Amino acid sequence: MDSRSVKTAADARALVEARGLSHVKIGVVDLDGVIRGKYLARDKFFNALEAGFNFCDVIFGWDSQDQLYDKSTFTGWHTAFPDAAARIDPTSCRDVPMEGDMLFFLGEFEGTAAELCPRRLLRRIVDRQITAEEAVKAYHDALRTLGIRPLRELRADMQLTGTMMRYR
């Protein structure tokens, strides 16, 4: 089976078994769009496919340079950077060409962290639950919740979004 043909947890499990992998790579997306990842042992991966996994929520408390945000209210020293629940999206399976037969899967957050998960926000746009403009507002609201000052004001981001959406 080709990695891009994986549609279900059963497909993912079958491909890992067929390749004889001892571990796989998984990743989640932080607020800056950077994929933060780790390796999971085969058995832990199989369990995560069914029951989900945990990932430290510090990724919602630091920037792309791994510098902690000063005024984050969602996570920080005051919360001890706990783990957040996430699930693996089997359809995100891809080969990692530089690592032999290695496979990579994207995860997305659940629970309270889902509100901050960029992948969840994009899914809502694709599923036409919200418009791109509403997503920009939600992103700014998420940053405000974290106590983070955005690089651009909401008005500038809305203008940029409107310009970009004309090219659809």
Is 54 or 149 the better-scoring residue by pLDDT? 54
Q: Residue type for 101, please?
A: D
Q: Tell me: the pLDDT tens digits for 18-73?
A: 999 999 999 999 888 899 999 999 999 999 999 999 998 888 878 788 888 777 77
pLDDT band (50, 70, 90) for residue 167? very low
Q: What is the pTM of this model?
A: 0.81
Q: CB neighbours (10 Å) of residue 5?
A: 10
Q: Residue type for 106, please?
A: L
Q: What's residue 164's pLDDT?
A: 63
Residue 64 and residue 30 in contact, taking contact as beta carbons nearer than 8 Å: yes
Q: Tell me: the pLDDT tens digits for 60-116?
A: 878 788 888 777 777 777 887 888 999 999 999 999 999 999 999 999 999 888 888
